[in-house]
Amino acid sequence: MDLGALGVYTCLFMGLYFEVFLLISFFEKRPSKKSDAVPRRFPTVSIIVPCYNEERTIAATVQSLLALEYPKKKLDIVVVDDGSTDGTRTIAERFAKKYPQVRYFYKENGGKYTALNFGIEASHGDIVGCLDADSFVAQDALVESVKYLEQDPSIMALTPVMNVYRPRNLLEHMQAVEYIFGVFFKKMFDNLASISVLPGPFSLYRREVFRRVGIFRRAHNTEDMEIAFRMHAHGLKIANAHTAYVHTTVPKTLRTLLTQRARWSQGYLQNSMDYKYMYGNPRFGHFGTFTLPFGLAAFAAGLYIAGYVLYNVVATLWTRAFTLWATGIPLHFPSLSIEWFFINTSMMLFLTVAIFFMTMTAIILGARIAGVRLHAKSLAIYFMLFGFVAPLWLSRAVWNTARVRESVWR
């Protein structure tokens, strides 16, 4: 066996081990179903909506917050305009004039983290949340989140379940399944108390968090990831509210998708370097001993397998082309007829098939948690495209990190 294939075996075995581990975690602690119970008390909640040139979606975002099934006197919606140059200001000011619970602030452009910090200073709720201006919450999302905070006072921050809003083209369908897969992973990391990111779409914090760990930082354009790392460093608990749903728009073109994901991936690498003391450190629980090391290993494995496959495809094509040039004998392509007796039963095929079925199981469980219906079309697109697209943003993230080049937001 060549060393390249041995590396692939290692990556596949690691992936299989990881998925089996998470599936066991799921069956040991299955997510509870949504109940009709209501919180005993409703704390004051401030939702910060940072926005920059979001005239296409800001109205729907604010309307979804106004439609929340929550006492209006307890809800404070803080729209922070980070220097928009389009019609965002006009739309947001219209809401602020019409609805007393909506407040609008304009500031010079400084980045999302500055808008969030501005909103924290301007808000007064016991619970502080954020909602990206391209996302929309379910009507009961806030009530469901408050239930978790009430049931467990040790929870200091919450993440919701994120679904893709009305996928249309191939890339959006691919991301729809990817997000469902992520729903499963997020809940399993919740079981392990090792959630690694508090995404912009409707993450909630107790105000005490900012007094204890500080406010948001630039953090390589991934402030939602860095603050999760920082909370773990301070021993603060992050949980997943798997009955609180939020819908978010996703990149529609390959260029915008690669830009977004390269930023996320580069942020993960750079935040990992900032918090490298947590890796393998049992003082930080499963987050330090399991989640961080496996996350970095999965990052490397994705690049390695993609490189191995690319190398073999190029080498095969080069050999065939050279043979054709040297001999003049046309290339022979095998027929598509299947002979079951001659099916390859190698260990690599077994591991690949096992990972495929484990992934399918995780996606199905994720869809049940997220309360969405899986479509065969979306599944087929995901399995056909993701393996080709993901290595592109991973490699760009590594390249930018090696060059110490700041990631691009848009």
For 17, other C-beta atoms within 10 Å of its C-beta total: 11
Q: Is residue 337's pLDDT more than 80?
A: no
Q: Which comes out higher in pLDDT, residue 341 or 161?
A: 161
Q: Please give the pLDDT value at position 37.
A: 86
pLDDT above 70 coverage of the chain, percent: 95
What are the CB-based long-range contacts (under 8 Å, 24+) for 109-112? Answer: 109/52, 109/82, 109/83, 110/82, 110/83, 111/82, 111/218, 111/221, 111/409, 112/50, 112/52, 112/82, 112/200, 112/221, 112/223, 112/409
pLDDT digits (tens, 9 = 90+) for 87-122: 999 999 999 999 999 999 999 999 999 999 999 999
Q: Please give the pLDDT value at position 316.
A: 84
Q: Calculate the average pLDDT of the chain.
A: 92
Q: Is residue 380's pLDDT more than 90?
A: yes
Question: Which region among 36-40, 119-123, 260-264, 376-380 has the lowest average model confidence (pLDDT)?
Answer: 36-40
Q: Is residue 329's pLDDT more than 90?
A: no
Nearest-angstrom CA–CA distance, 80 and 313: 50
Q: Is residue 1's pLDDT more than 60?
A: no
Collect all residues with Cβ–Cβ distance below 8 Å to 276 and sequence separation of at least 6: none
Best CA proximity match to 158, nearest among 100, 229, 237: 237
Q: Is residue 339's pLDDT more than 80?
A: no
Q: Which comes out higher in pLDDT, residue 373 or 319?
A: 373
Nearest-angstrom CA–CA distance, 389 and 304: 14
Q: Please give the pLDDT value at position 360.
A: 96
Tell the CATH topology of 44-254. Spore Coat Polysaccharide Biosynthesis Protein SpsA; Chain A (3.90.550)
pTM, 2 dp: 0.92
Q: Which comes out higher in pLDDT, residue 372 or 408?
A: 372
Q: Is residue 237's pLDDT more than 60?
A: yes
CB contact at 8 A, 262 and 397: yes
Give the pLDDT band (50/70/90) at residue 36.
confident
Q: Which comes out higher in pLDDT, residue 332 or 295?
A: 295
Q: Please give the pLDDT value at position 302.
A: 93
Nearest-angstrom CA–CA distance, 319 and 312: 10
Q: Is residue 334's pLDDT more than 60?
A: no
Give the pLDDT band (50/70/90) at residue 406.
confident
Q: Please give the pLDDT value at position 326.
A: 77
Q: Please give the pLDDT value at position 405.
A: 78
Give the pLDDT band (50/70/90) at residue 3.
confident
Give the pLDDT band (50/70/90) at residue 229.
very high
The token pair at 240 is 């997943």
For residues 80-91, give the mean pLDDT. 96
Nearest-angstrom CA–CA distance, 177 and 163: 9
Nearest-angstrom CA–CA distance, 92 and 69: 21
Q: Please give the pLDDT value at position 82.
A: 96
Q: Please give the pLDDT value at position 274.
A: 96
Q: Please give the pLDDT value at position 408.
A: 66
DSSP string, 253-285: SHHHHHHHHHHHHHHHHHHHHHTGGGTT-GGGH
pLDDT digits (tens, 9 = 90+) for 15-28: 999 999 888 888 88
Q: Is residue 376's pLDDT more than 60?
A: yes
The token pair at 203 is 């993450």
Q: Please give the pLDDT value at position 385.
A: 96
Q: Please give the pLDDT value at position 338.
A: 54
pLDDT above 90 coverage of the chain, percent: 79
